[in-house]
Structure 1
Amino acid sequence: MLTTTRDHVDVAGATRTFTTVRPANDQAGRALVLVFHGSRQTGDKHRAFTGQAFDRFAATGSAVVAYLDGYRGNWNDARKESWFPARRDGVDDLAFTRAVITKLAGEYRIDPDRVFAIGYSNGGQLVMRLVHEAPGLLAGAAVVAATMPAPESFLATDTPPAPLPVVFFHGTKDPIVAYGGGPMSWWKQRLFKVGGTSWSAPRTARYFAERNGITAAPVVTREPAPAGAATEVERSEYREEGKPPVVLYTIRGGGHTVPGPAKNPAVLGKTSRESDAADLVGTFFGLPVGAAVR
C-alpha cells in the first residue's frame, strides 16, 4: 500500500510544493527518486501523464518518490535564451531540490547517498543543470526528451565533474526537442518561451560519457520489436571499467513522450510501447520496480 501526501518547503521566502509517494511502512535507508515535470505541467499532472509509472519504485518499498512542482509550470534550467517566469523571477530550483532532499531525509530516513533524479523535457534540462552545478547531490540521473544546450546557449556554471550514471531517452520524431539538435524554431520560441541551440541526443550522451572519463565508443544494439510495432528501440551504451555508465535509448519513430504504457497526446508524437522508462531506469539505478499501480 502507498501513501500519497502534498508537502511543501520554504525556499528564499517562497513556499514550494511537491507530492510525495511512499510505502506505508517505515524503513530507514530507502532511496529517494525526484521527478521533474515538463513545461506547463505540475508534479501531479506529470504523475498522471506517465500513468503513475514512477510510483512503482515506492510500490516495492525500496524508495520514496517525490514529484516536484515547478514555478508557474516551468523550471529555471540551464538554457541561456529562456524567458519563462522561473528565469525572469530568478527562481532557485537548486535550493528547492536541496530543501526537498533535506526534508524527506529527515522525515523518512532517506539515504542521502541514494538520491536519483528523473526529468522530462524542461525537467530534463533542470536535471542536467543539477548534474553540473550540484556535484555529488545525485547518485544517478535520467533525462527524457531533452538534450544539452550548445556551449553558446549553456548558462549553468560548470564545476569539476563528479562522475555519475546517466540514462537518456529520446524519440527520433520528437516534434518539440529535435533528436538531431539545432536551433529552436521561431514557433517553439514563442510557444515555450525558450530559444538557443541544442546538441543532438547522441552528442549529448557522448558528452556525459566523456565527463565520466569514458573514451570508448558506444556499443549499439537494437531491441527486438513485435511485428507492426509503432516504434523501435536502439540502445547505445558507453561503459569502461570503474567508470559510471551512460546509456542512450533512441526511440525510432518516437515523439516527445515518455516510453511506457501511458497514452500521451497525439500532438506529441508516438509513445513507445516496446520499452518502459520506469523499468529501464530502475534497472539502470539498481532499484526494484513493482507492478503497475492502479
Structure 2
Amino acid sequence: MGEQLPQIDPQTCSGCGLCATACPSGVLTLIDGRIQVQESGCIGCGHCGSVCPTGAATAPAGDGWAEHYDVIESRGAVLAPGEFPAGPLVDLLRSRRSCRCFTEKPVSGAMLEDLLRAAVTAPSGTNSQAWTFTALTSRAAVLGLGQAVAGFFARLNKLAANTLLRRAYTFIGRPELENYYREHFASVAAALVDWERDRTDRLFHGATAVVIVGSRPGGSCPAEDALLATGNMLLTAHCLGLGTCLIGYAVEAMRHDRRVKEAAGVPSGEAVHAVVALGWPDVTFLRPTSRRRPLVRYKTA
C-alpha cells in the first residue's frame, strides 16, 4: 500500500493557508493563494483536516477503530487548550496509584479494547504509531506468563549465586550481575520459594489481565512512544475503576529471554517496553501519596 496524501477540494478551499502552516512535514504549501500537495512526506498526523475552517482539507483516514468506544461514553468533542480545567486533571493524576491487590473478577474484553483505544491517542515520533499491544485476558494466561518469568529469574539467580562468575564479569567491566545480586537476589529468591510452594503471585499480585506494550521496528523513538501510550492506559483504567501496576521484572525477563516472549505470545521481532497488570482493585486508597521534589533547572538565556 502506497503513501496516503492529504486531499484538497479546490472548490471549497479558501486559500487561508492554515493547513500549510499546521503541516509538520512540509507536504502542503500555499502558492499564489492555492494549496499545493507534495507527492511524498506525509506522516498522517491529520493536522490539515483538523484546522481547515471550510473542510476542504481531508487528511489520510484510518479505519475508525480508535474513535468508537464500547464501554467509555465519549462525546467526540475537541477540547481546545485551556478548555478542560486543570484541577480535576491534577486530581486524577494524583489519585492514580499502583495496585498490588486484585480481586478474582475478570476484566471484560470490551473494557480492554477501550483501554487500547485510549492508549493510541498518545503522541508518537513522526506519527509512526509503531506500538503493539499483547493482551492476556485470563488469570490462566497471566499465570502462564508468570511461570515463564519465574523460570528466567530462577536461572538468573543460579548464575548470580556464583561468586567467581560475578567477580569475573565485574573485572571485565560488566558489573550488572553483581549489582543484581546486591539489590534483587534475596527478594527474588524469596518470591521464587513462595511461587513454587503454592503459586503465591508476587509478580502480578493476582491480576486477572496483563497488557504488554511493545513496538515494531521502524519507529523513531519507540520506547518513548510505548510509554506515553502506557500512561494513557493507566489513567483511563483508573477512570474505569480498574487498578494497574507496571511490572518491570516481566519487562526485563522478556528483553533477555526469547522463551518468555514466546510464552506471552509476543513475536521475536518486537521490542517490549512495558508490562501492565490489570484488574479490579481489592484495596481502597483514601488519600494521595506525596512525591519527592525533583531536580529542576531553569535556563533563561
TM-score range normalised by the length of the shorter chain? under 0.3
Q: TM-score, normalised by structure 2?
A: 0.24
| More helix, by proportion | 2
Higher Rg: 2
Q: TM-score, normalised by structure 1?
A: 0.24
Q: Which structure's relative contact order is higher, taking Cα pairs within 8 Å and 6+ residues apart?
A: 2
